Structure 1
Amino acid sequence: MESCDHKSDCRQKLATKRLIGKVAIVTGGARGIGGATATLMSQNGAHVIIADVLDEVGENLAKSIKGLYVHCDVSKESDVESAIQLALSWKGKLDIMFTNAGIIDTGRSITNLEMNKVAILININVNGVIHGIKHAARAMISSGTGGSIVCSSSSAAIMGGLASHSYTLTKGAILGISRSAACELGVHGIRVNCVSPHGIPSEMLVKAYQEYLGKPNMTIEQVSDIIGLEGSLLRGRCGSFEDIAQAVLFLASDEAGYITGHNLLVDGGFTSGSVEMTSFYCDK
């Protein structure tokens, strides 16, 4: 099975300084997709603020990339606004906002949904994104230089049955608000896009697999093997944090200057065709 992790020297080779002088905020940036993206943005010349609730992890990463860390609960609008004000006081502008913070749940039947838990997901996954778009747009409009807002959605937003109902609901809502915001903000030179990962082995996804399959001792390697065999047209390969970071880097950069209102799927082709049919073709 091909490894899902890229070595640091490979990441360095891919660093092309595409974000020289840009100022970026990454919510949920302490680890996982957010951490990989914050690191890659820094390697490409950006000044990065990591906004998260994992203070120790976030502060350590911020130091390593010569950025800043701010405690930020994205469900609280004032926290998100404060993170953006930090960027303005630090560098006088905000060029890139990656609204990445989110949580998952493992609820099953829609007939048994606990609405208090649904509300928690909405507060973080949806309201957190809205807070980010709202205040990033204000800062970018004031500067008059445009900018790029990238939101984390999911393959679950376009294909049913991949996740819980409440998680699917929130990720679908992110697609909607991103496209709607793109329609308004384009006149200001602000691009709004989504990146939608599928099956990235993470601590959060492993926990979901453990609970869903009733196997509390499942490891990240076992989950990676399952995704590599069943969750991708690229057999033997699952996605990595760095794969998503590269997609966000592209959408955030000037190379994507004519792209807005777009949802970039990073799914190994999973949502484009039947994984089962790959065996049909290969056996011929």
Structure 2
Amino acid sequence: MQLKDQAAIVTGGASGLGAATARRLAKEGAKVAICDVNAKLAETVAKEIGGVAVTCDVADSASAEAAIAAAAKAHGPARVLINCAGIGVAKRVIGREGPMALADFDRVIRINLIGSFNMIRLAAADMTKLEPLTTGERGVMISTASIAAYDGQIGQAAYSASKGGIVGMTLPIAREFAQFGIRVLAIAPGLFLTPLLAALPQEAQDSLAAAVPFPHRLGDPSEFASLVMQMIDNAYLNGEVVRLDASLRMAPK
């Protein structure tokens, strides 16, 4: 799909993988709506790339509906949806203070998994009504899973479950949306230099990077954005989850 003048939505687009993707989409000529709970950061990135910022809680139905409507009002219905919004919580199922609070598990599932599904269902409702492009496509949807979906570590039960859910729903949704010419994909990134990891001491960053087989470093968000572009461009890629992890397989802890 050629991106010039096409409308795109990036959730979690105010920082990290989402911001890098929003910048790359805009560079390729797309009209980008940045949906994020951090309105101030979203405005900053939107101003930088000539896009529009939309405050959005992806796990809330009304908030997501309003965000989709606002993005469509600014740029028209989106042909591209990139789900990058998410959180990570490291907690053991049974910790020093007893069982993990159910609310903590619920929050991760709601934001990471239900939030991704929520945006997919709402964006698809508009996308299915678009005229197909010359390739027969109406759109592309890409969600962010994680290698934790496959190699979850101790303390990642909630996070791994949420990302495993994204992996699990990618193929059935791709099969359902095939009739509309909408491709559905996911990326499972490894260790990337996002704001969360960048806040760690350099020694800790170096230790994490040393575990990566090759190249021996943390991933750069621009490399995630590059894979997003390749997925959008390759019309035969559909229903797939691609690991982007420099062959890293995480240890139990």
TM-score (norm 1): 0.80
| Percentage of identical aligned residues | 30
| 1:27–1:101 Cα contact (<8 Å) kept | yes
- Report the equivalent of 1:42: 26
- Report the equivalent of 1:258: 236
Q: CA RMSD in A?
A: 2.0
* CA separation of 1:18 and 1:92: change in aligned 2, threshold 3 A: closer
| 2:193–2:219 Cα contact (<8 Å) kept | yes
Please tell me the residue identity of whatever aligns with 1:268. A
Q: Deviations over 1:150-196 (max 9, x none)?
A: 00000011223276111000000011122221110011000000011
Greater C-alpha radius of gyration: 1
Q: Could you tell me which of 213, 226, 229 is aligned with 1:246?
A: 226
Q: Deviations over 1:87-126 (max 9, x none)?
A: 3222322110011100010102457221111111111111
- Report the equivalent of 1:233: 213
The CA deviation at 1:144 is 3.7
Please tell me the residue identity of whatever aligns with 2:68. I
* SS of corresponding position for 1:161: coil
| 2:198–2:205 Cα contact (<8 Å) kept | no
Please tell me the residue identity of whatever aligns with 2:125. R
- Report the equivalent of 1:89: 73
* CA separation of 1:69 and 1:169: change in aligned 2, threshold 3 A: same
The CA deviation at 1:57 is 1.1
- Report the equivalent of 1:118: 105
Q: In structure 1, how many angstroms separate the alpha carbons of the residues matched to 2:171 and 2:119? A: 15
Please tell me the residue identity of whatever aligns with 2:230. F
Q: In structure 2, how many angstroms separate the alpha carbons of the residues matched to 1:22 and 1:244? A: 20
Q: Could you tell me which of 169, 177, 200 is aligned with 1:177?
A: 169
Please tell me the residue identity of whatever aligns with 2:243. L
Q: Which runs of 4+ in 1 moved over 3 A?
A: none
- Report the equivalent of 1:128: 115
* SS of corresponding position for 1:270: coil
- Report the equivalent of 1:77: 61
Please tell me the residue identity of whatever aligns with 2:156. S
| 2:7–2:78 Cα contact (<8 Å) kept | yes
Which structure is higher in helix share? Answer: 1
- Report the equivalent of 2:126: 139
Could you tell me which runs of 5 or more consecutive residues in structure 1 were left unpaired when the two chains were aligned. 1-16, 208-217, 275-284
Could you tell me which runs of 5 or more consecutive residues in structure 2 were left unpaired when the two chains were aligned. 133-137
Aligned residues: 243
